[in-house]
Amino acid sequence: MNIKQSYSSFKILLSKNRVVKRCVYVFLFFMAIALFAPFIANDKPLVCKYKGQWLFPAFSFKHQMQINDETINYNMGKDWKTLNTDFILFAPCAYSPNTIDADNAPRKSPFDEQVMTLKNGQTTYLPLKYRHWLGTTQNGNDVLSCIIHGTKISLSVGIFSMLIAALLGIVLGASAGYFQNNTLKVGYIQVLFLLLSLFISYFYCFIIRADKLSEAFKESGLWLLYQIIFTFYIFIQNTFILMRLGKWIDEKLNTDNRFHLPIDIVISRVIEILNSIPSLLLIIALSAIAKPSFSLLIIIIGFLSWTSIARLTRAEYLKAKQLDYVTACKSIGMSNYRIMIKHILPNVFPLLLVQLMFGLAGAVLIEASLSFIGVGVPLNVITWGSLLNEARDHFSAWWLVLFPGLCVFSLIYIYNKLASEISKK
């Protein structure tokens, strides 16, 4: 079954299975929230008319604006709500996740009385458009805003970490299954350049550009997607160029120092070593040593989640290598890499997709677990797991357990349900 056939089967499954259809709709709902989180929950107005001028603070990259000798700071938080404006329109949730509402702290329930302090010092009931519909945290953060922005974090960490795992697992598993131990012949210089390329690509993409990746998490989901794709492009391009350069040098030197690379043994032993170590404990140890950041968390989860994908890919490539269509491709002189990518990969992709869906569920659970114990993500970032962690110390704050817990459960259930239904087909 190739990719087109898999897509057709999925469309048929989607049209006949109501549960799958609902799971897909809920997943698309989560995706929409993640992509447009800054415009759904923000303490900056979407549109504002002040002293005759129209402002768009939520869409502006500027931090301030000059109006008739008065400087308007776009990051003035809840002061926007008491500003004397001609017209103002906020997002559906008029709070950012880090906005502190001291008037409704600590831990206001969704059903508690909520108030706000005006500029003249008077206290009044909080208007409905500014109400904390899912309550507040210990510091007065809006729970609904934290959940909305936490959706972007959970989806981004899960999807991008599994992209790393899929890239590593498919490449290494396919190489181990197809070339095994006596097929791939390489030169010493090419191997040296391969190791050098991996080091340079990793250092530039995930160390030098780590700040840009972390900043992208604070912006819109589309900007984060662009930064991740651009990072992968640089990584793959640098590795490919240096490998080709090493091969060219080997050919120019006419060296006979070429050897069969026992790639199957090496990759299998690495998989066994990583599988023998509890993943969660290793992630906690690595996260505690390094400075917490989203890019580091994605890399750690991705590098520790590729083994199951690699084992499945290796097994499928070992089986496909003995089939007639692969023998026919070899007989007409087709290159190994073309056979692996164009002919075998589309046929094993449906099975890999099921494994990736289960991996996504595991990545979401790992991120929530790390946030729950306070490691992995920066401390100033509120996620679903950190909300659950706060509820652990305050059992009476039921809204800090119910709403984030439902989000974690829903996302993991969707991934597992889609994977199980696709595997049946």
Which backbone phi and psi does 340 adopt, to 5 degrees?
-65, -45
418/378 Cα distance (integer angstroms): 31
Weakest-pLDDT range from 31-40, 143-152, 219-228, 395-404: 219-228
115 DSSP β-pair partners: 125
DSSP codes of every residue in 127-172: PGGG--TT-B-TT--BHHHHHHHHHHHHHHHHHHHHHHHHHHHHHH
Which backbone phi and psi does 321 adopt, to 5 degrees?
-60, -25
Q: Which has more pLDDT, 78 or 370?
A: 370
Residue 40 has pLDDT above 60, yes or no: yes
Residue 3 has pLDDT above 60, yes or no: no
User: Do residues 367 and 155 lie in contact, with contact meaning Cβ atoms separated by under 8 Å?
Assistant: no
Q: Work out whether strand 47-50 and strand 53-55 pair parallel, antiparallel, or are unpaired.
A: antiparallel
pLDDT, tens digit, 9 for 90 and up, residues 107-125: 888 888 888 877 777 777 8
Q: What percent of the chain has pLDDT over 70?
A: 83
Range of 131-140, 197-206, 278-287 with top mean pLDDT? 131-140
**Res. 222 pLDDT band, cuts 50 70 90:** low
User: Do residues 30 and 43 lie in contact, with contact meaning Cβ atoms separated by under 8 Å?
Assistant: no
**Res. 281 pLDDT band, cuts 50 70 90:** confident
Residue 393 has pLDDT above 80, yes or no: no
Task: Tell the residue number behind the tokens 């009931």, with chain if given.
Answer: 125
Residue 225 has pLDDT above 80, yes or no: no
Residue 191 has pLDDT above 60, yes or no: yes
For position 205, what pLDDT does the model report? Answer: 74
Q: Give the mean pLDDT of 182-193.
A: 74
User: Do residues 136 and 146 lie in contact, with contact meaning Cβ atoms separated by under 8 Å?
Assistant: no
Tokens of 153: 């974090």
Q: Give the mean pLDDT of 173-180.
A: 85
For position 196, what pLDDT does the model report? Answer: 82
Half-sphere exposure (Cβ direction) of 260: Cα atoms closer than 13 Å: 9
Mean pLDDT score across all residues of the chain: 79
CATH number, domain 1-42+140-184+261-425? 1.10.3720.10
Q: Give the mean pLDDT of 48-77.
A: 73
Residue 375 has pLDDT above 80, yes or no: no
The model's pTM:
0.77
253/244 Cα distance (integer angstroms): 14
At 98, is the secondary structure helix, strand, or coil?
coil
Half-sphere exposure (Cβ direction) of 257: Cα atoms closer than 13 Å: 12
Q: Give the mean pLDDT of 296-308.
A: 82
pLDDT, tens digit, 9 for 90 and up, residues 258-267: 666 778 888 8
Q: Which residues contact 298 (CB under 8 A, 6 or more apart)?
A: 156, 157, 160, 161, 164, 213
Tokens of 256: 């006979």
Taking the CA atoms of 156, 157, 159 and 165 in sequence, report the sign of the dihedral they define.
positive
Residue of 153, 157, 101 lying closest to 296 (CA atoms): 157
389/393 Cα distance (integer angstroms): 7
Residue of 356, 376, 363, 330 lying closest to 418 (CA atoms): 356
User: Do residues 103 and 123 lie in contact, with contact meaning Cβ atoms separated by under 8 Å?
Assistant: yes
At 95, is the secondary structure helix, strand, or coil?
coil
Residue 321 has pLDDT above 80, yes or no: yes
Residue 213 has pLDDT above 80, yes or no: no
66/70 Cα distance (integer angstroms): 6
For position 324, what pLDDT does the model report? Answer: 85
Distance of CA 32 to the CA centre of its chain: 14
396/389 Cα distance (integer angstroms): 13
pLDDT, tens digit, 9 for 90 and up, residues 349-367: 878 888 888 888 888 888 8
Q: How many CB atoms lie within 10 A of CB 351?
A: 17
> Alpha helix locations (H) across 263-323?
263-275, 279-289, 294-304, 306-320
